[in-house]
Amino acid sequence: MSAPANTARLRDFVTGFSSLLARVTDERLILEEGGALLERLVAHDDWLPDAYAAPDPTRYRQYLLHCDSRERFSVVSFVWGPGQATPIHDHRVWGLVGVLRGAETSEPFAHDAGGAVRSAGPPELLSAGKVEAVSPSIGDIHRVANAHADAVSISIHVYGANIGAVERATYGVDGTAKRFVSGYANATLPNLWDRSGATQ
């Protein structure tokens, strides 16, 4: 049996991000300062409860860890089984991605003048502790994959909305968009607010 998760780290991250959004509206600053908060969170791998780190043998999983009561931001764990990958997709809101465990590749895409979706650069390797930003203003379309063919990888994502309820799109290479709303793999949330135990 694994040790209890140190959910105080996630609680501190959530309260810190709430405070950031209460004083900052400029997206550049949200991504810069929020990225630093996320970098501190993913620097430690002792806080994510096992229930929100479980892979699925057939596809990646997205677990909701927290959603702000006004849906200003949401925090999710993405759990990648060996070799799993997303289709090319967008987000339509700002987002931050921090790798907690393992490694991922993130390949950027963009629409060309004819509307097709083309690679906008080589895939970037994101190892544990690394953070990247996405946004319609800086680049919002990518394809992400577990960099490991024989191990699970986990990343923590923060989005400027309740991302499981945002209508987004996946893309074929001809630019054809297919609507989707991702939802979440879990029906319960981690309890961040119990301060009764030493590990909480």
Binding residues for Fe cation: 89, 91, 142
Interior CA angle at 186 toward 127 and 49, to 5°? 55
Contact between residue 140 and residue 53 where contact means Cβ atoms under 8 Å apart: no
Binding residues: 89, 91, 142
In whole angstroms, what separates CA 31 from the centre of its chain?
13
CB burial of residue 30 (10 Å; 0-12, 13-18, 19+): buried
Report the half-sphere exposure of 126 (CA within 13 A, side-chain side): 27
DSSP E strands in 115-189: the ranges are: 117-119, 124-127, 131-134, 141-146, 153-159, 168-171, 177-180
- Nearest-angstrom CA–CA distance, 156 and 34: 13
3-class secondary-structure state, position 181: coil
